[in-house]
Amino acid sequence: MTVETVAPITEIIAEIKKAGGDAFKYCYRCGKCDVVCPWNRVRTFSIRKIVQQASFGLAEIDLEDMWRCTTCGTCPSSCPRGVEQIEVGVALRRVASQYGVFPGAAKTVSLVRGRLATEGNPMGEARDARPAWAEGLSVKPFAEGMEVLFFVGCYYSYDPRMRKVAAATARILEHAGVDFGILGASESCCGESIRKTGNEDVFRKLARDNIKAFIDRGVKKILVASPHCFHTFKNEYPEFMVSFEVVYMSQFLEHLVSSGRLKLGKSYPKKVAYHDPCYLGRHNGIYDEPRNLLKQVPGLELVELADSREKSLCCGGGGGRIWMDTPKGERFADIRVAQARDVGARVLVTSCPYCITNFEEAKLGLGDEGEPFEVKDIAEIIHEAIWGTEGSS
């Protein structure tokens, strides 16, 4: 099935022009986008072909290919002509979503859309259970005048693995004397991933719900642990004529350590490889603060992966792909975990719930050979550097 069978060609072209203007017409088929695309490490895929078909007003684009893009940002950051590949791809998905066409792995997007609209999270868990991760901790609801709002996010609120990270983060903030609070059941998904799958209506509803919660409580500064939330609040919520100070967790923790508010006294004698999440690195240019933070951990040896910083390899979870099944053999995360082992790292550390979810799954394929291999959020390492393994979450 192709896009041409989904909607009238005039509607498709109108969406593409609205998203990217005429920038997609600048493509002169150099093919650099396909060279750097992570998909071409595991299978044949051509974003250049999709852009070219769109630029000629064609709609004969395979729907399965249209849903492959992880919006990692590798192709636009490498394009010599400023072609907006992500915008073109999202515009095509927007048309497909309007007509309810979700082929193969993308079928779950329709299910997630319903969950977000009703419960405000992609898992479909009860909204009232959102703050359950904080049970037993002295975490307070946000009130006007507090130093910062800790916007927890969906995965940190509901996923069993990521709840441990949220709890560790809260303990660190409290230990540093940070006056923070959470929205609890009033928090909704930031909406970034559902927007990238083409559903603008659900995104705008989620955005308005969050913005109302921020304004009603007098929020000025927002602390986030997910790069996707960070990107959305910083770069997309201003579309609604609002402005909040948005700070990423690793930036904030690095400041707490550098300013002396947080002391790291326990040794962490392990070789650690840091993975740059796409929406923290390429999309927002944050590379140094996480590394500077890790370098201040006693005993920690930081090593670089084969693809790092601007050339970091996507984990495969962006663009709504975190909700879709990717066949074994086509998972970027498997390559990334292998790269970490290749440089002798015992720990692959990052600061994105999608990356951790995919790396934990990839780790299962390593077997039991050699030293134990761990996947960690950067907050978990800081937690151990304060309390040691006995106090680890």
Tell the residue number behind the tokens 């962006």, with chain if given.
318
Domain limits, the chain: 3-101, 106-255, 262-391
Predicted pLDDT at 5: 60
Higher pLDDT, 380 or 11: 380
Buried b / exposed e over 85-106, threshold 16 CB at 10 Å, is: bbbbbbbbbbbbbbeebbeebb
Predicted pLDDT at 164: 97
* Whether the predicted pLDDT of 16 surpasses 90: no
At 51 the three-state DSSP class reads helix
Predicted pLDDT at 366: 74
Given a contact cutoff of 8 angstroms between Cβ atoms, the answer to whether 70 and 321 are in contact is: yes
**Average pLDDT of span 219-241:** 97
- Which percentage of the chain shows pLDDT scores above 90? 76
**Average pLDDT of span 290-313:** 97
Predicted pLDDT at 167: 98
- Domain 3-101: state its class: mainly alpha
Predicted pLDDT at 59: 61
Domain 106-255 and domain 262-391 have a common topology? yes
* Whether the predicted pLDDT of 330 surpasses 70: yes
The top-scoring range by mean pLDDT among 57-61, 91-95, 212-216 is 212-216
Please give the model's pTM, rounded to 2 decimal places. 0.93
Predicted pLDDT at 20: 55
Cα distance between residue 321 and residue 179, in whole Å? 35
Given a contact cutoff of 8 angstroms between Cβ atoms, the answer to whether 49 and 325 are in contact is: no
pLDDT category, 302, cuts 50, 70, 90?
A: very high
The Cβ-side half-sphere exposure at 24, using a 13 Å CA radius, reads 28
Predicted pLDDT at 389: 80
Q: What is the pLDDT of residues 177-201, one digit of tens each?
A: 999 999 999 999 999 999 999 999 9
- Which percentage of the chain shows pLDDT scores above 70? 90
Residue 220, burial from CB neighbour count under 10 angstroms (0-12, 13-18, 19+): middle
Cα distance between residue 98 and residue 100, in whole Å? 6
3-class SS shares of the chain: helix, strand, coil, % to 5: 50, 10, 40
* Whether the predicted pLDDT of 51 surpasses 60: yes
Predicted pLDDT at 13: 62
Residue 131, burial from CB neighbour count under 10 angstroms (0-12, 13-18, 19+): buried
> 262-391 has which fold?
Rossmann fold (3.40.50)
* Whether the predicted pLDDT of 26 surpasses 90: no
pLDDT category, 291, cuts 50, 70, 90?
A: very high
Q: Helices in 99-221 by DSSP H: which ranges?
A: 107-119, 154-158, 160-175, 192-196, 200-216
Q: What is the mean pLDDT of the chain?
A: 91
C-alpha angle 352/294/162, rounded to 5°? Answer: 30
* Whether the predicted pLDDT of 27 surpasses 90: no
Residue 294, burial from CB neighbour count under 10 angstroms (0-12, 13-18, 19+): buried
Predicted pLDDT at 88: 86
* Whether the predicted pLDDT of 317 surpasses 80: yes
* Whether the predicted pLDDT of 370 surpasses 70: no
Q: Please provide the CATH number assigned to the domain covering 106-255.
A: 3.40.50
* Whether the predicted pLDDT of 393 surpasses 80: no
**Average pLDDT of span 245-267:** 96
* Whether the predicted pLDDT of 108 surpasses 60: yes
